[in-house]
Amino acid sequence: SQQGEEDPQALSIQEGENATMNCSYKTSINNLQWYRQNSGRGLVHLILIRSNEREKHSGRLRVTLDTSKKSSSLLITASRAADTASYFCATDVQGAQKLVFGQGTRLTINP
Amino acid sequence: GAVVSQHPSWVICKSGTSVKIECRSLDFQATTMFWYRQFPKQSLMLMATSNEGSKATYEQGVEKDKFLINHASLTLSTLTVTSAHPEDSSFYICSARDLVKADTQYFGPGTRLTVL
């Protein structure tokens, strides 16, 4: 079952611009994670933010979490062509011991 | 970092045959392993959760008799697609939750199944 929505479904920007993706979910969570997937390949774990955290940074990535609104955002700053991929949020559902994925955002960085 | 392997990485089979996919945690023990399915241009859909030594828990709409899961040890889970049909063609991804670092889940590289 899908946990929630991601928007936009697709995003196309110029290299150097910032990219923001949003994720909403429905249940209580232990943490929320963001993954990247290049076409036809496996997942790459980007960042994990716990339910008691509000913001986290890792390199050019900035993740926010608002548990009152059940939403999260992923910001990629100074985008590069190599950032072109699909990005998924995944929620670690409280009490269920499982990771459920959002629908994903297809990001295209134009050189 | 921890590694999860899957074998085979791709498989082509005839309609009606069964296919087994292995998922191994290579340098950690995993009490819980998960199987996902991903259709082209779609997200990962959780199929089932398997705990070592017990029966798998299937998500709603997933046929347990068609997708047989065995989790015989802390490092190995298998998914068998029985009597495969073309609509079962998909990318199957397993993941394993670290026994020690309980909030950390590692993903395998996926297995692409094509049923002719």
Q: Do A42 and B93 touch (CB under 8 A)?
A: yes
pLDDT of residue A4: 65
Task: Give the three-class secondary structure for A4.
Answer: coil
Q: What is the pLDDT of residues B7-62, one digit of tens each?
A: 999 999 999 999 999 999 998 888 889 999 999 889 999 999 998 888 899 999 99
pLDDT in the model for residue B65: 94
CB within 8 Å: A101 and B34:
no
Q: Which residues of B touch A88 (CB under 8 A)?
A: 43-44
Q: Can you tell me the distance from the alpha carbon of A4 to that of A27, in angstroms, rounded to the nearest whole number?
A: 9
Average pLDDT (B105-109) is: 91
Main-chain dihedrals φ then ψ at residue B67, nearest 5 degrees: -115, 95
pLDDT-derived band at B72, boundaries 50, 70, 90: confident
Chain B positions in Cβ-Cβ contact with residue A102 (cut-off 8 Å): 43
| Res A3: pLDDT | 58
pLDDT in tens, chain A (111 residues): 445 678 899 999 999 999 999 999 999 999 999 999 998 888 999 999 999 999 999 999 999 999 999 999 999 999 999 999 999 999 998 888 788 999 999 999 999
Tokens of A1: 């079952």
pLDDT of amino acid A1 = 44
Taking an 8 Å cut-off on Cβ atoms, the answer to whether B103 and A40 are in contact is no
